[in-house]
Amino acid sequence: MTDMSNENSTGQAMKRMVIGIVVLIVLTALLFFVAPASFYPWAKAIHVIAVISWMAGMLYLPRLFVYHVDAEKGSVQSETFKVMERRLLRGIINPAMILTWVFGLWLAWKVFGFQGGWLHAKIFVVLLLSGVHGYLAGAVRKFAEDRNERPARHWRIVNEIPTLLMIVIVVLVIVKPF
């Protein structure tokens, strides 16, 4: 019964996410064709909104793992963590990462022609961040199958990595030191 209602609400969350993405794509396409001159600031705004959403999820997910480790396997608490982790990954982190990449690459191409040491360094660090994303997505699967063997200390350390990468990325794009 709990599994069924969890599946239903996950299905609903997925549906809302897909609708949200479709609406955003349609609005973006409209803006692109109707007012191409003001597309640049809008693309940057969407890029920053997506970045904030991606980072929020990337900082929260390992925190959930820290608490999940202490929940007894098969307990209601453990099952609730599984639902929270899956929804966070599929509903926020994955779509936010895709939007960050799409709009970031568009800005990099349209405005900077992929030129600049800071931009190359930034893309490299974002690739590292995307690798951490993949690692966390794998961990969601392991927790869902009760196969996690890492202690809470491991997830506390992993929790710091996105923060460090984010600091480097923001300094690169704002200060543009080289």
Nearer residue to ligand HEM within complex by CB, 53 or 78:
53
Interacting residue with ligand HEM among 174, 175, 177, 178 (CB under 6 A): 174
- Of 88, 93, 96, 126, the one binding ligand HEM (CB under 6 A) is 126
Residue 47 binds ligand HEM, judged by CB under 6 A = yes
Query: From CA 36, how far away is CA 40, in angstroms rounded?
Result: 8
Query: For residue 177, what are the contacts with CB-CB under 8 A and spacing of at least 6?
Result: 118, 171
Angle, vertex CA 75, rays to CA 72 and CA 77, nearest 5: 90
User: Is 51 or 88 the residue whose CB approaches ligand HEM more closely?
Assistant: 51
Q: Name residue 129's amino acid.
A: L
Q: Should residue 108 be labelled a site residue for ligand HEM when binding is judged by CB under 6 A? A: yes
User: Is residue 7 within 8 Å of residue 86, measured between CB atoms?
Assistant: no
Phi-psi region of 6 (alpha: psi -120 to 50; beta: other; left: phi over 0): alpha
Residue 137 engages ligand HEM in binding (rule: CB under 6 A): no
133 binds ligand HEM (CB under 6 A): no
Q: Is 101 in the site for ligand HEM (CB under 6 A)?
A: yes
The residue with tokens 């969601």 is 140
Rounded CA separation 110/105 (Å)? 8
Nearest residue relative to ligand HEM (C-beta)? 104
Contacting residue, 62, 104, 143, 148, with ligand HEM by CB under 6 A? 104
* Only segment of 6-14, 72-80, 87-95, 162-170 that touches ligand HEM (CB under 6 A): 162-170
